[in-house]
Amino acid sequence: MELAGKIALVTGAGSGIGKAAALRMAEEGADLILVSRSADELEQVARSVRTLGRKAVVQAADIADDAAMSRLFNFVREEFDTIDILFANAGVNGVWAPIDELKPSEWDETIRINLRGTFLTIHHAVPLMRQKGGSIVITASINGTRTFTSAGASAYSTTKAGQLALGKMLALELAKDRIRVNVVCPGAIATEISENTVKRDIEEAKFPSVFPEGKVPLTGGKPGTAAEVADLVAFLASDRASHITGTPVWIDGGESLLV
């Protein structure tokens, strides 16, 4: 129960890594504020959190909408006064296509959700966290931070590189407030996000890459699980990580070391 008495806010909490992290932190004693665009998904997660004996509050919001995020954090201020843990996890893969085929509107939407959304989440959370410090964890990816061979993923990879840079910048800026900022960079993880990826003519953007047998050396090609990423998030949120900030952690079974 390392997180007992702490309040954690998780974006993208309705499924995948966000859901797994919310449940893991509830197991460790935290109360949860669950955020995503789908209230129905969140309610299911909230019920699971409550069965663990923890409080769960559901708030549907578009993380890239400043007015929506302002309302969300006004609610948090009124209901909780503070938060201890922020997991800025919500994001999309968006459209993957050759750069000359990728539409400006498709580029803009990926940037809007992944970068603007992460910025707004942290922008509104920091005033609440300054009261007593805490931990911010951002979900980036191996794409754009250590690997660059995912054909057509230029918009997505750019946002992931930006999230890593933002995390490092804020680790210094917020150190005086005792707020730690770290970045998790998953590789192949079994979640629903890949099912929502639009890939168009990506063969045109591919560059030949030769891999050893199996893309995930540690598991013989088997992807990791959301629960494994959740364990990392819970660690970074805990006092065991009290001297860790500004650090990217690649959780990919060695996948990104192949290129």
Active site residue ranges: 156
Intra-chain end-to-end CA distance of the chain, in Å? 39
Residue 184, CA atoms < 13 Å, CB-side half-sphere: 30
- SS3 of residue 139 by DSSP: strand
Pair of tokens at residue 250: 């690649």
User: 147-182 burial, b for 16+ CB within 10 Å, e for fewer?
Assistant: beebbbbbbbbbbbbbbbebbbebbeebeeeebbbb
Beta-bridged to residue 181, according to DSSP, are: 136
User: 40-53 burial, b for 16+ CB within 10 Å, e for fewer?
Assistant: ebbeebbeebeeee
C-beta of residue 135 within 8 angstroms of C-beta of residue 177: no
Neighbours of 37 (CB within 10 A): 17
Query: Whose structure tokens read 């007593």?
Result: 132
* Angular region, 177: left φ>0, alpha ψ -120 to 50, beta rest: alpha
Q: Which amino acid is at 143?
A: N
